[in-house]
Amino acid sequence: MILRKQFLENVGQTSPSPMLIEVARAEGSFFYTPEGKRYFDLVAGVSVSNVGHSNPVVIKAVQEQVADYMHIMVYGEMVERPQVEYAHRIAELLPGDIDCVYFVNSGAEAVEVALKLAKRHTGRTELISMRRAYHGSTHGAMSMMGTPEGEEWKAEFRPLLPDVKSINFNSFDDLSLITERTAGVLCEVVQGEAGVRLPNPEWLKALRSRCTEVGAMLIFDEIQTGMGRTGAMFASTKYGIEPDIVCLAKAFGGGMPLGGVASKRTILEDFTHHPCLGHITTFGGHPVCCAAGLAALNHLVDNNIVESVEHKGAMFEERLKRHPRILEIRRSGLLMALELGESEHLYKLMEIFKEEGIMSDWFLYCDTAFRISPPLTITESEIEECCEIIERALDRL
């Protein structure tokens, strides 16, 4: 009780109604309260805990790195093994000829860097994002929340970045708004906070062509879709599209705070001159975070976890689509929105879920659907058990 009181008094709040569940420990697909109540984690820290909570491989990597050294010097001056090894490994897996990573601290910072890089590389100023996009909460990233939906979140913080325009995700007509004035087009490959909106693969191809035609940089935000979430290591590879810049964060740090902006070395090198230090960040690429991220990536690859994601997602979908309360399921791998049609139902279901030991959530721009995006390591028997609990909760609605 005292901890909750101090949480509300001394920890800065942003939510008018925080969940207020105290966490004592977490393991695999679950976390536990001090009283021992177990929760199925269907949020995974918003697509962070892809290799499961307290993964021993990640813990070992963190412990070893902490014992060797933590922070030494600001980003980009020293040769730090975990950083170099992670950059080298991820470059082998990133789409196309992307071969270089600039490490930062978070998703929003990755987006900031990507926008600056697009402006710096093209010498242009216009930036384009998609309606119902979410890219983070800093001024630049917030500017890219597509209007009009994003206006509710942005209005009180204006003025934001100038020369920003929104187009409709999946609209072929809107592609003509990308022109020779455009520095960069920022796009989630699957829109997460819009409530899991899937791309039309033909539209993605047309978007790539249009950016190439007018010389605008195509920036994919893979912060939520990356590291296996959609059933491929990156959603760009799933859809066969090669962006110019990729933003990474969330699961990229294996549970530690880490972001990255990946591009060709020849493009990222723009930050070294006119001016030099084009983006600087003290903790970017922290050795402990890189050690954790690399261990998590190796765990995904060594255990063929990404290959299992589509099947696991389909298990949830096949079973839950039969429940009369579920009107629609939108899914890419283990990123899923289950549509109830009405927010009142959704809010009530969240209360029932809490009682039944299920952690889910809704989406920033969609409060009529609930989220299923568990750790990718969830087992088939856990999926069966979880579906049983979800069905029971839906019956109680």
Applying CB under 6 A, the residues found at the interface with ligand PLP are: 46, 106-108, 111, 134-136, 188, 192-193, 221, 223-224, 249
Closest CB 79 distance from ligand PLP, rounded Å: 26
Nearer to ligand PLP among residue 11 and residue 79 (C-beta): 11
Nearest alpha-carbon partner for 140 in 108, 182, 185: 108
Closest CB 191 distance from ligand PLP, rounded Å: 8
Class of residue 124 by CB neighbours under 10 A (exposed 0-12, middle 13-18, buried 19+):
buried
Q: Are the C-beta atoms of residues 46 and 224 closer than 8 Å to each other?
A: yes
Nearer to ligand PLP among residue 80 and residue 188 (C-beta): 188
Closest CB 65 distance from ligand PLP, rounded Å: 21
d(CA 39, CA 32): 6
Q: Which structure tokens are listed for 31?
A: 């976390």
Nearest residue to the partner ligand PLP, using Cβ: 107
Nearest alpha-carbon partner for 268 in 117, 87, 107: 117
d(CA 127, CA 183): 6
Closest CB 183 distance from ligand PLP, rounded Å: 19
Closest CB 171 distance from ligand PLP, rounded Å: 19
Nearer to ligand PLP among residue 183 and residue 249 (C-beta): 249
Nearer to ligand PLP among residue 136 and residue 150 (C-beta): 136
What is the DSSP pairing of strand 245-248 with strand 217-221?
parallel
Closest CB 276 distance from ligand PLP, rounded Å: 26
Nearer to ligand PLP among residue 126 and residue 193 (C-beta): 193
d(CA 77, CA 95): 27
Nearer to ligand PLP among residue 154 and residue 383 (C-beta): 154
d(CA 58, CA 60): 5
Task: Give CA 241 to chain center in angstroms.
Answer: 18
